[in-house]
Structure 1
Amino acid sequence: MPRTTSLPAFLLLLLGLAAHVVTDCPSSTWIQFQDSCYLFLQESIKVESIEDVRNQCTTIGADMISIHNEQENAFILDTLKKHWKGPDDILLGMFFDTDDACFKWFDKSNMTFDNWTDEEDDEDLVDTCAFLHTKTGEWKKGNCEISSVEGTLCKTAIPYEKKYLSDHILISALVIASTVILTVLGAVAWFLYKRNLDSGFTTAFSNVSQSSYDDDCVLVVAEENEYAAQFD
């Protein structure tokens, strides 16, 4: 059965192609999670405003990081614990909008999640930025007027067209793999059926041949007995 031995290698090729396609980040230095790619720049820079920090990301087609659910916050925290060698607190891509009196993300995404440790309602939030504590994953409020940072968290969304193409190719690969598996299984089942059918036919033919031979022997013996009786 040579076809069945080549099947695992074929499936591995398809899965490898799918895994390669699904990697939609700009390069291998980025880390993908859900529909976004993340880059952790551990470069120390002098800054005059938070815009200098943001430029670290915008110049490479991304923006400062925004966090939208508990799973994403946990992913960032876990990644920082594995790879981060900077300070305990790092800037998030967030600012306080005095016109609307609320915090907003620089990338203009909606504020759907927060993880604040300090929630004083009467505090003055002018020139307030948000910091992520790399040990606990909690958010802290602090002054935006900082003179330097030792690292920047950048994030970019996977383009819809690229994600759609990746999903389409992945689905196509899985459909092809399923078709091959069903075809091989069908061939194996047909082979076994034909083998059993041929085996049964041969057995039946052998039985019929043996039965005819036995009948002829009985007939010959009977004729000999009859002939011998005529001379007795």
Structure 2
Amino acid sequence: MVSCRDCHSYALFNVVLFFLNSHLTRGQDNADCPADGRTWLPFGVNCYHFVHGAEDVTKTYAFDAAKLMCGGYDLLTVKSAQENDYIVNYSPNVWKGNVNIWLGLHYDSDDDVFRWNDDDSVLLYKKWEAGGSDDTDLPLMDTCVALHTSTGKWENISCSNELENGVVCQTKTVWTSSPKSSPLLSALVIVSVVLILVVSAVVWFLQQRNNPGSSVLNLIEYHPPFGSPSSDQTCLVEAEEMEEIP
């Protein structure tokens, strides 16, 4: 039967191992956003930078100017409902009132579809407002798309004649690995395991001293094979055989 002291030692052993394992594996994979002095916000596998002007001033940018504002990063791409909702819900933290945001899309006149600028992929997720779609009446080379933060829906607009308020830059997160564990941490693991073994041995010794009848040797008993005769039965059999001899 396992004593409470044994239970406590086993529980202590598991707690310490869990604590050490969490420290050894913490931060092995970290997602980082660009460190270029601008404020980047991580969401999913992407990082977003909301471009804004002075306090209480919402700047407007044409499409080409908006791309320049991102400094080599992509304009906003929205490839899921979760991303669309995130941009719409966070926008009030940057701009006062409802604004329109350029989407990083271009119209592919060869296939008559919109494609994302970052990877040239077609739209798998769409949220056109009434009257908006891949089909556009605007000149093909002057067709862009804006996201309305008031409705969360998209609209076909002119790239050159429209000045949309919001600019959001986007890039993929960079996954980095944490540095290898230090010798000090490895030594801590070894010392902790040794201490646990010592404590467990002390607890077992105290238990045996307080309960001498519970020695491990006392738990070992000899059991003869099933069906074998006892010593008394063996003597009786031998006596009977002696009497039968003429």
- TM-score range, shorter-chain basis? 0.5 to 0.7
Check 1:119–1:108 CA distance in 2 against 1; reply closer, same or farther (3 A cut). farther
Structure 1 residue aligned with 2:49: 39
Which segments of 5 or more consecutive residues in structure 2 lack a partner in the other structure?
1-8, 214-246
Identity of aligned residues (%): 26
Q: Structure 1 pair 95/14, CA: closer, same or farther in 2 (3 Å)?
A: same
Matched with 2:221 is: none
Q: Is 1:114 matched up with 2:126?
A: yes
Partner Cα separation in structure 2 for residue 204 and residue 149 of structure 1: 86
1:73 and 2:81 are equivalent in the alignment: no
Post-superposition shift, 1:143?
Answer: 2.1
In the alignment, what sits opposite 1:134? 149
Report the alpha carbon displacement of residue 86 of structure 1 after superposing the two structures with TM.
Answer: 5.7
> Against the structure 1 CA distance between its residues 78 and 190, is the aligned structure 2 distance closer, same or farther, given a 3 Å change threshold?
farther
Q: Determine the structure 1 residue equivalent to 2:100.
A: 89
- Label 1:151 to 1:14 Cα distance change in 2 as closer, same or farther (>3 A): farther
Question: CA offset at residue 53 of structure 1?
Answer: 1.4
**In 2, Cα distance between the equivalents of 1:196 and 1:14?**
30
Give 1:151's aligned residue: 166
Distance, in Å, in 2 between the alignment partners of 1:81 and 1:45 is: 15
Contact 1:45 1:148 in 2 (8 A): no
State the alpha-carbon separation in 2 of the partners of residues 75 and 182 from structure 1: 46
Name the structure with the higher helix share: 1
Q: Is the 8 A contact 2:74 2:170 kept in 1?
A: yes
Equivalent of 1:56, from 66, 69, 74?
69
Q: CA, structure 1 residues 97+118, in 2 after alignment: closer, same or farther (shift >3 Å)?
A: farther
Give, in whole Å, the separation in 2 of the partners of 1:98 and 1:142. Answer: 16
Question: Structure 1 residues 86 and 151, CA, compared in 2 at 3 Å: closer, same or farther?
Answer: farther
Alignment of 1:173-188 (within 5 A): 188=196
CA contact (8 A) 2:132 2:156 kept: no
Deviations 1:191-224 (A, max 9, x none): 245413333234429xxxxxxxxxxxxxxxxxxx
CA contact 1:86–1:151 (8 Å) conserved in 2: no
- CA drift of 1:149 comes to 4.0
Preserved CA contact (<8 Å) 1:30 1:37: yes
Distance 1:193 1:78 in 2: 59
Question: In the alignment, is residue 200 of structure 1 matched against residue 208 of structure 2?
Answer: yes
Q: TM-score, normalised by structure 1?
A: 0.61
Unpaired stretches in structure 1, ≥5 consecutive residues = 206-232
The SS at the match of 2:128 is coil
CA 1:132–1:147 in 2, change beyond 3 Å: closer, same or farther? closer
Q: If the length of structure 2 is used for normalisation, what is the TM-score?
A: 0.58
CA contact (8 A) 1:64 1:153 kept: yes
In the alignment, which residue of structure 1 is the partner of 2:228? none
Aligned equivalent of 1:25, options 19, 22, 33: 33
Whether 2:199 is the aligned partner of 1:191: answer yes
- CA change 1:140–1:181 in 2 (3 A) is farther
CA 146–7 in structure 1, closer or farther in 2 if over 3 Å, else same: farther
